[in-house]
C-alpha cells in the first residue's frame, strides 16, 4: 500500500486534484499526510474545487533573453495554501487577491498544478 | 509550559572570529578550528578541557563528528543540530542546560565556512521541498520574497523602508575593520540594484563571504575567574513553526514572536531593557520582521521603525552594530556571528562600541523564516 504522497501524485497523474480533510469535518490538509497535523485525526480524500486566491507573489528576475517568471502562494477555497505559478498573464500582472483556477499540465514528464486567472465576473 | 532556564548561571568565557571576508585556500573545518583555537586562548581554557562540542559545518552532514576528530577531542556531548542559521542560539540554550546540570564543564560552539572562495555562492544542503521545487522558487530568497510581498501588502511597508535596513548596516560596517562590504550605500543604490525575486533586490540580500566564529561557555564562576569579562547567558529559547514558507499561517509573523518572548521572560527583561540588538539579516525584510516579532515595535510598524536612521549609527536602537550579514560577513549560517558581536558589545570591545551596553539580544533565523532562536546576554555586571 502506498503512502498519501504517492496516492496524491498518482491521482494528479490521472487528472484528479485531491486534497485531504479530517473525517470529523475538520480543516482541509495539504500537502498530504498520514494524519491531520496537530490533532492526529484520521483524514479522507476529497476532490479540490480548484478555485483559489493569490495570497502572495514574487517575480524572479532573470537576465535577458531569459524571461522573468512568477511564483505564487495560492489559498484554495477549501482553506489550504500551496506554491504554484499563474499562467496566461505577464508576470507583473499577477496580483495578491487575484482569483485563479487550477489546471493540471505536464512538465518534465510529470503532472503539475498551475493556475489561470479567472475572468472578471460582471454583475455577479 | 515548563521553560525553566538557568539565568546567569552560565557565561561566555571566550570568543573569536577568524578569516572574515575572504580566506582563500583554507577549508571550512580549518577555519572553524582556527576560530576555536583563538576562542579557547581568549578564555585561557585548554582544548583538552572541552567536553561539550557544538558545531555546524555548512556541507558536512556529520560535521560534529568530523570536528571532534579534527580537534582530537572525545566530547561527553556532541551537538550537530541543523536548524539552519539559528543553530548556534539553540547550541547556547543546550550548552547552558548541560553546564548547569553538570553534564559538561566546557562547551565549545563553532562554525566555519569557505563558501566565498570555495564556491562563490551560499553553501547549503537545504533546498525546496518536492511540492514547491517544480515552480523554481530561488532557494532561499524567493521564500523571503513571498513573506516580504505580504508585508508590503498588509502593512504598507515600502521597498525604500527595506532599503533603509541595508543602508544602516553599511554605515555600521564602514567603521568596522572586520567588515567585508564597505563604501557608500544609499536607498537609491539599493532600489536600483538588480531585482532578484521581487520585492528583494541584490542589495536587500546578505553577503556571500568566508569566515569562522567560536565561543566558549562555562558555568558563571569559572567565567568570572577568566581573563576576559564574562558575558552572562540570561535566557535562550528556540521555536519552530514551519519549514516551507507555503506552510506559514501568516509569513509576516515568525516564530521569533515566541522565541523572543520566552528568552526575555527567562531573563526577566523586556525589549526596553535591551541596549544592543543583533539580528540575523539574511535579507532586509528579516530585520523588519524580527524587530516587530521580538517586541521592539508593533506588528506592521517595522518599516517605519527602521526609517530615518533609527537603527543606524547614532540612532535610538543600535541594530547589527558590526554591519550584519548584509555588510559585515555572511559565511552561510550567520547566527554565531550575531552572538559574538553581542558579546563583544557587552565586553566593551566592539568596533562600534555602544557606551554602557549592559544587555544584548542576539537572534538567529534558520531555513526560510522557519526556525527562530533568541539569546539574551548580559555584561559581567549582570552575573
Q: pLDDT digits over B79-103, tens only? A: 999 999 999 999 999 999 999 999 9
Give the domain extent around B36: 10-121+206-382
A76 with A116, same domain: the answer is: yes
ipTM of the complex: 0.95
Average of pLDDT values for B242-265?
Answer: 98
Confidence of residue A123 (pLDDT cuts 50, 70, 90): very low
Q: Percentage of residues in chain A with pLDDT exceeding 90?
A: 90
Whether residue B254 lies inside any domain: the answer is: yes
C-beta atoms of A55 and B150 within 8 A: yes
| Best mutation target, B134, B155, B245, B368, to test chain A (most A CBs within 10 A) | B134
Nearest CB partner across the interface for B146, out of A56, A82, A112: A56
pLDDT digits (tens, 9 = 90+) for A68-112: 999 999 999 999 999 999 999 999 999 999 999 999 999 999 999
* CATH code assigned at A74: 2.40.50
Average of pLDDT values for B58-63?
Answer: 90
The pLDDT assigned to A1 comes to 67
Query: How many CB pairs (< 8 A) connect A and B?
Result: 64
Confidence of residue B162 (pLDDT cuts 50, 70, 90): very high
- Assigned C-alpha cell, A84: 504554484
Give the domain extent around A43: 1-47
- Assigned C-alpha cell, B74: 572525545
C-beta atoms of A84 and B135 within 8 A: yes
Grid cell 557608500 is found at B184
A39 with A28, same domain: the answer is: yes
Provide the mean pLDDT of chain A. Answer: 94
> CB within 8 A of A96, min separation 6: which ones?
A54, A55, A56, A57, B149, B150, B153
**Domains identified in chain B, total number:** 1
Cα–Cα nearest to B66, from B110, B19, B6, B11: B110
A54 with A84, same domain: the answer is: yes
C-beta atoms of B137 and A60 within 8 A: yes
Whether residue B134 lies inside any domain: the answer is: no
Cα–Cα nearest to B279, from B172, B150, B143, B119: B172
- Assigned C-alpha cell, B152: 508590503
The pLDDT assigned to B121 comes to 83
Other Cβ atoms within 10 Å of B198 Cβ, number: 22
Whether residue B72 lies inside any domain: the answer is: yes
- Assigned C-alpha cell, A122: 460582471
The pLDDT assigned to B216 comes to 99
B337 close to B362: Cβ distance less than 8 angstroms: no
Read off φ and ψ for residue B353, nearest 5 degrees. Answer: -65, 130
Whether residue B137 lies inside any domain: the answer is: no
> B225-235: buried (b, 16+ CB within 10 Å) or exposed (e) per residue?
ebebbbbbbbb
DSSP 8-state secondary structure symbol assigned to residue B319: B
The packing angle between helices B284-293 and B256-267, to 10°, is 50
Confidence of residue A120 (pLDDT cuts 50, 70, 90): low
Query: Which residues from A are below 8 Å from B138, CB to CB?
Result: 60
Provide the mean pLDDT of chain B. Answer: 97
The pLDDT assigned to A122 comes to 46
| pLDDT above 90: residue B125 | no
| pLDDT above 90: residue B254 | yes
Residue A62 three-state SS: coil
Amino acid at each position: 500500500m502506498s503512502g498519501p504522497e504517492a496516492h496524491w501524485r498518482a491521482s494528479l497523474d490521472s487528472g484528479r486534484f485531491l486534497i485531504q480533510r479530517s473525517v470529523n469535518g475538520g480543516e482541509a490538509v495539504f500537502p498530504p499526510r498520514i494524519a491531520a497535523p496537530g490533532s492526529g485525526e484520521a483524514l479522507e480524500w476529497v476532490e479540490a474545487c480548484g478555485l483559489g486566491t493569490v495570497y502572495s507573489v514574487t517575480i524572479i528576475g532573470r537576465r535577458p533573453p531569459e524571461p522573468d517568471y512568477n511564483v505564487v502562494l495560492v489559498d484554495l477555497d477549501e482553506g489550504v495554501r500551496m506554491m504554484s505559478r499563474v499562467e496566461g498573464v505577464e508576470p507583473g500582472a499577477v496580483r495578491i487577491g487575484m482569483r485563479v483556477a487550477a489546471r493540471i499540465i505536464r512538465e518534465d514528464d510529470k503532472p503539475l498544478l498551475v493556475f489561470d486567472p479567472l475572468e472578471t465576473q460582471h454583475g455577479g | 509550559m515548563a521553560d525553566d532556564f538557568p539565568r546567569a548561571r552560565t557565561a561566555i568565557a571566550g570568543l573569536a572570529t577568524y578569516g572574515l571576508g575572504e580566506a582563500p585556500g583554507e577549508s571550512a573545518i580549518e577555519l572553524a578550528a582556527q576560530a576555536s583555537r583563538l576562542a579557547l586562548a581568549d578564555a585561557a581554557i585548554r582544548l583538552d578541557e572541552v567536553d561539550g562540542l557544538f558545531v555546524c559545518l555548512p556541507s558536512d552532514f556529520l560535521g560534529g563528528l568530523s570536528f571532534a576528530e579534527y580537534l582530537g577531542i572525545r566530547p561527553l556531548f556532541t551537538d550537530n543540530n541543523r536548524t539552519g542559521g539559528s543553530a548556534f542560539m539553540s547550541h547556547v540554550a543546550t550548552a547552558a542546560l548541560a553546564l548547569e546540570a553538570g553534564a559538561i564543564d566546557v562547551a565549545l560552539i563553532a562554525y566555519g565556512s569557505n563558501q566565498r572562495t570555495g564556491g562563490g555562492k551560499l553553501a547549503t544542503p537545504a533546498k525546496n521541498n518536492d511540492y514547491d521545487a517544480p515552480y523554481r522558487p530561488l532557494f532561499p530568497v524567493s521564500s523571503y520574497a513571498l513573506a516580504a510581498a505580504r508585508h508590503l501588502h498588509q502593512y504598507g511597508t515600502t521597498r525604500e523602508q527595506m532599503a533603509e535596513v541595508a543602508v544602516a548596516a553599511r554605515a555600521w560596517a564602514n567603521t568596522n575593520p572586520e567588515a567585508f562590504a564597505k563604501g557608500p550605500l544609499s536607498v537609491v543604490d539599493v532600489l536600483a540594484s538588480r531585482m532578484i525575486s521581487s520585492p528583494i533586490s541584490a542589495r536587500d540580500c546578505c553577503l556571500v563571504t568566508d569566515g569562522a566564529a567560536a565561543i566558549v561557555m562555562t558555568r558563571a564562576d569559572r567565567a568570572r575567574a577568566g581573563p576576559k569579562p564574562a558575558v552572562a547567558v540570561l535566557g535562550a529559547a528556540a521555536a519552530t513553526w514551519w519549514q516551507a514558507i507555503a506552510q506559514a499561517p501568516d509569513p509576516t509573523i515568525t516564530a521569533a514572536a515566541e522565541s523572543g518572548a520566552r528568552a526575555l521572560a527567562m531573563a526577566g527583561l523586556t525589549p526596553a531593557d535591551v541596549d544592543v540588538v543583533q539580528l540575523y539579516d539574511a535579507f532586509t525584510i528579516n530585520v523588519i520582521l524580527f524587530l516587530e516579532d521580538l517586541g521592539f515595535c508593533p506588528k506592521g510598524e517595522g518599516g517605519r521603525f527602521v526609517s530615518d536612521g533609527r537603527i543606524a549609527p547614532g540612532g535610538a536602537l543600535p541594530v547589527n552594530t558590526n554591519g550584519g550579514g548584509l555588510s559585515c560577513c555572511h559565511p552561510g549560517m550567520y547566527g554565531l556571528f550575531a552572538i559574538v558581536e553581542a558579546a563583544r558589545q557587552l565586553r566593551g570591545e566592539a568596533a562600534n562600541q555602544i557606551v554602557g551596553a549592559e544587555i544584548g539580544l542576539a537572534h538567529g533565523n534558520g531555513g526560510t523564516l522557519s526556525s527562530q532562536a533568541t539569546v539574551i546576554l548580559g555584561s559581567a555586571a549582570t552575573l
